[in-house]
Amino acid sequence: MSKLRVGIAGLGTVGRGVVRLFADDASRLNEKMQLVAVSARTAARDRGVDLTPYRWFDDPVALASDPGIDVFVELIGGSDGAAKAAVEAALGRGAHVVTANKALVALHGSALAESAERNGAKLLFEAAVGGGVPMVKALKESVAGSRASTVAGILNGTCNYILTEMENSGRSFEAVLSEAQGLGYAEADPTTDVGGFDAAHKLTILSAIAFGTRPDFAHVRVEGIERVTLTDIRLAGKLGYRIKLIAKGSQVDGAVEMHVRPACLSFDHPLANVGGSLNALVVDAEPSGQLTFIGRGAGEGPTAASVASDLIDLAEGRAGYAFGKPLTQLGAAPRATPAERGRYYLRLLVKDRPGVVAAISDRLAHEEISIESFLQMPVSEKHTAVPIVLTTQTCARSRMEAAVKAIAALDVTAEAPFLMPVEHAGQRWSSS
Ligand SMILES: NC(=O)c1ccc[n+]([C@@H]2O[C@H](COP(=O)([O-])OP(=O)(O)OC[C@H]3O[C@@H](n4cnc5c(N)ncnc54)[C@H](OP(=O)(O)O)[C@@H]3O)[C@@H](O)[C@H]2O)c1
């Protein structure tokens, strides 16, 4: 059988890594396929890999449209523009596509999968979620025979690195972010990462596969880590919690709820000790039970290895449907009303006046919310406001939000209250 002919568009961190794997004699990639062409913006750039054996294309759409390419590997990035145009061109003529582009798959996954199926092509994206950790494959294959109720993970290495460094070094969010940018761990514009959107793209993809629904990014409620302060990390730590950015999708009575937000995890929680830039995913499924996947979520080596594993699946005839099932069998995800119940962490910056704590307790009591623990930072002479933190016993999120609104209206707070859910090990992950 003739070898599959591969073209790679995008020769940055990941693309360069895949070219290196093709050049490595020990890699299985060359057994059943060969790299024949590459594309990037600047032909003259030294990328530390020998590109002379491969045809060069200035235009990734021309590469994707070339009949001499059987598999188009998209490693450009971005939900639209050149990446989307090139992937559409490849699928439109029946060429297989392998991509690491979570934004593209989260926003346009249904249309791309539809084009793939119509034209007899495969669309694979293991590297789009979890870098080197085989999260997509695990859900498509290992958990396929079970019924997943929840997928919950730490899916953005930059946020996890920032939160871990804040805790370990005692530096502020701004200081750690700025250092991460200097080291190249965070983008110059960090909004996609710290705002939670990158994790939301990945959650969209995982939820679609886990729950058998079409990817629906617009349905994810997204909150980033920008408001997490050193005070939160220290006080949550005193109460036995570690703060993580959690991306979570739950299926309740056939309806799907997805959110990305910072949460306080008890120290024995399966995701609490996933530190630095590691990624992890916890899947609750019946009858499999709880499964945990953990590893390096980004970087040249792990991400290129995931691209390579998709290529090998293609070459060995193991590639299935993009989201695990034919598109006609994927339902539109009915949106769950967030009827969430749980415990909460609330940080308030309150004016240093008598009666403030009593007024706050009164607003909570009005919503039948019981306080579990309460911490106050010492008042310094030069400050007129003081941070207080409390955690609650289990209550309805709607009542917690009503209480927070009432507290904010009291004119005793010096900044908007900050609310996070509290999660314990062994707690059922479902939202209602
Ligand atoms: N980096 C990671 O660890 C990681 C992990 C998981 C997934 N991903 C995903 O993998 C993809 C690639 O990420 P990356 O980090 O490798 O990106 P990158 O380092 O920024 O590289 C992007 C590449 O795309 C090329 N490019 C950009 N615009 C182009 C255009 N209009 N036409 C042709 N080529 C164009 C660039 O060309 P020039 O080099 O000539 O400028 C560059 O080679 C993204 O979807 C990303 O989300 C990355």
Per-position DSSP letters for 262-322, written without gaps between them: EEEEETTSTTTT--TTEEEEEEEEETTEEEEEEEE-SSHHHHHHHHHHHHHHHHTT----T
The more confident residue out of 336 and 421 is 421
Residue 151: what pLDDT?
Answer: 97
Nearest to 14 by CA among 302, 380, 413, 280: 302
Q: How confident is the model at residue 397 (pLDDT cuts 50, 70, 90)?
A: very high
Q: How far is the CA of 11 from the centre of ligand 1 (A)?
A: 6
Inform me whether the pLDDT recorded for 380 exceeds 80.
Answer: no
Report cis status (omega within 30 of 0) of the bond before 287: yes
Q: pLDDT tens digits for 108-142?
A: 999 999 999 999 999 999 999 999 999 999 999 98
Q: What CA–CA distance (Å, rounded) separates 383 from 386?
A: 7
Q: What CA–CA distance (Å, rounded) separates 275 from 242?
A: 10
Inform me whether the pLDDT recorded for 176 exceeds 50.
Answer: yes
Q: What CA–CA distance (Å, rounded) separates 118 from 383?
A: 65
Inform me whether the pLDDT recorded for 351 exceeds 80.
Answer: yes
- Of 84, 140, 202, 244, the active-site residue reads 202
Inform me whether the pLDDT recorded for 159 exceeds 90.
Answer: yes
The more confident residue out of 142 and 87 is 87
Is 382 labeled as catalytic in the residue annotation?
no
Inform me whether the pLDDT recorded for 334 exceeds 80.
Answer: no
Q: How confident is the model at residue 426 (pLDDT cuts 50, 70, 90)?
A: confident
Q: Can you tell me the mean pLDDT for 346-350? A: 94
3-state secondary structure of 198: helix
Buried b (16+ CB within 10 A) or exposed e, 152-181: bbbbbbbbbbbbbbbbeeebebeebbebbe
Inform me whether the pLDDT recorded for 428 exceeds 90.
Answer: no
Residue 25: what pLDDT?
Answer: 80
73, 309 in Cβ contact below 8 A? no
Q: Can you tell me the mean pLDDT for 364-393? A: 87
Q: Can you tell me the mean pLDDT for 368-382? A: 83
Nearest to 341 by CA among 422, 425, 267: 422
Task: Please report, to the nearest 10 degrees, the dihedral formed by the alpha carbons of residues 364, 369, 370, 373 taken in order.
Answer: -70
Q: How far is the CA of 239 from the centre of ligand 1 (A)?
A: 42
Task: Specify the CATH superfamily of domain 341-423.
Answer: ACT domain (3.30.70.260)
Q: How far is the CA of 76 from the centre of ligand 1 (A)?
A: 4
Domain with CATH 3.40.50.720 in the chain: 4-128
Distances (CA, A) of 136 to 7, 124, 186, 208: 23, 9, 24, 10
**CA-derived radius of gyration, the chain:** 24
Q: Which fold has domain 135-296?
A: Dihydrodipicolinate Reductase; domain 2 (3.30.360)
Residue 336: what pLDDT?
Answer: 65
Residue 145: what pLDDT?
Answer: 87
User: How many C-alpha atoms does 32 have within 13 Å on its Cβ side?
Assistant: 13
Q: What CA–CA distance (Å, rounded) separates 307 from 74?
A: 10
Q: Which atom of ligand 1 is nearest to the CA of 13?
A: 16
Domain with CATH 3.30.360.10 in the chain: 135-296
Write the class of the CATH domain 4-128. Answer: alpha beta
Cα angle 273, 422, 131; round to 5? 40
Q: pLDDT tens digits for 89-102?
A: 999 999 999 999 99
Q: Can you tell me the mean pLDDT for 392-411? A: 94
Cβ < 6 Å from ligand 1: which residues?
9-15, 39-42, 45, 60, 75-77, 82, 100-102, 127, 131, 298-299, 303
Q: Where are the beta strands (DSSP E) in 118-177?
A: 123-124, 147-154
Residue 432: what pLDDT?
Answer: 35
Q: What CA–CA distance (Å, rounded) separates 38 from 60?
A: 8
Q: Which atom of ligand 1 is nearest to the CA of 299?
A: 3
- Tell me which residue has its CA closest to atom 19 in ligand 1: 12
Q: How far is the CA of 102 from the centre of ligand 1 (A)?
A: 12
Inform me whether the pLDDT recorded for 429 exceeds 60.
Answer: no
Q: Can you tell me the mean pLDDT for 171-184? A: 91
Report the predicted TM-score, pTM, of the whole model to 2 decimal places: 0.95
- Tell me which residue has its CA closest to atom 32 in ligand 1: 41
- The residue type of 347 is R
Q: Can you tell me the mean pLDDT for 281-297? A: 94
Pocket test of ligand 1: the residue of 41, 98, 99, 125 to mutate, having most ligand atoms within 8 Å of its CB, is: 41
The pLDDT > 70 percentage for the chain reads 96
- Tell me which residue has its CA closest to atom 5 in ligand 1: 298
